[in-house]
Amino acid sequence: MTERIRTELARVAEELGGDGVEFVVERPRDPTHGDLATNLAMVLARRLRRRPRELAETVVERLHLPAELASKTEIAGPGFINFWLADTALTEQIQEIVSLGSRYGRNTLGSGRSVNVEFVSANPTGPLHVGHGRGAAVGDVLASLLEWSGYRVVREFYVNDAGTQIDKLAESLWARVQQAVGRDVVVPEGGYFGAYLVENADQILREEGATFADLPMEEGLGRCRTLGVALQRSDQDQDLQTFGVHFDVVTSERSLYDNRKVEAAIDQLTARGLTFEAD
C-alpha cells in the first residue's frame, strides 16, 4: 500500500518537474493525521520555488488513487499530505499476510545478484566487546534483509591477523607465559594487559608442556603469535555462535600477504596508472 502511494506521488512529482526528488511516505506520529503522510509538496516547493501548501493542492488534484486504496486525502499544516487507507485495503493486506505466512515480505529486488557483507571483523587480540555485538546484530540483520530481497549473500569475517597489533599480542602472551613459570618479565609497553592472556598462557603450558617457556625467544614469539590468534578467534567464534550469528567466509589478512595477493593487486593498479609514490 505504501509503495503504491509512493509510486503515484513520484509520478505526479515528475509531471510537475520534480523528477528524482527525494521525499518520505511514513506513518504520522498523531493517528488523527491519517494512516500515512508525505512531505513531497514541501521538498518539491523548494525546487519549483512555489508555496508548499499551494503545491500540495496541485499534487492532490493530480493524484489518481483508487477508492479501495485511499478513502480520504487531506492537506495539513504547511503542506503535508495525509492519507487515510480504505478499510478494504487494510483487510486485503491482512489476508495477504495470513496467506503468505513466513514468506510475507519476500521480494525479488536482488534478482540473484551476489552481495558480500563483511561485518564484526574484530582484531584477534582480545575478547569481543559490546561494540562488536552491535556490529554483529546490524550486519546479520542487513544480510538477512538482503537475502529476503532476492540477493545471494555471503557473510564474511575479515581477520586482521597481520601488522603491529599481532606482534604486540605475541610479545604480551610470551611475557605471560614467562610469568606463569615464575620469571620476572613484564608485558611490553603498548602491549595487551588483559587477564585473558594470563588464562591463555596457562592453557598453552597445560597443552604444550612447561618446556614451552624454555623455547628460544624468537621461536616462542612465533608460536605465541600463531597460538594467540587461534585462541582469540576461537573465543570470538564461540561468542558469535551463542549470539546466533554465522559467517560463510573467514578471510585472513596474513594469507593475502603470504599468497602475494596484495602485491598482485598493487601491480594491477600500478599498471592501470591508478597509483602514485610520495615521500
Class of domain 2-91 (CATH, top level): alpha beta
How sure is the predictor about 19, in pLDDT bands with cuts at 50, 70 and 90?
confident
Phi and psi of 38, rounded to 5°? -135, 150
Q: Would you give the distance in Å from CA 152 to the centre of its chain? A: 16
Please check whether residue 48 is in contact with residue 18, taking contact to mean a CB–CB distance below 8 angstroms. yes
60-63 LR contacts (CB < 8 Å, sep 24+) = 62/12, 62/15, 62/16, 63/8, 63/9, 63/12
As a whole number, mean pLDDT of residues 38-48 equals: 92
Residue 179's pLDDT is what?
Answer: 97
For residue 119, name the pLDDT band (cuts at 50, 70, 90): very high
For residue 18, name the pLDDT band (cuts at 50, 70, 90).
confident
CA distance 239 to 260: 32
Q: What is the model's pLDDT at position 125?
A: 96
Q: pTM value?
A: 0.71
What residue ranges do the domains of the chain occupy? 2-91, 105-161
pLDDT tens per residue across span 244-260: 999 999 999 999 999 99
- Residue 117's beta-bridge partner residues? 155
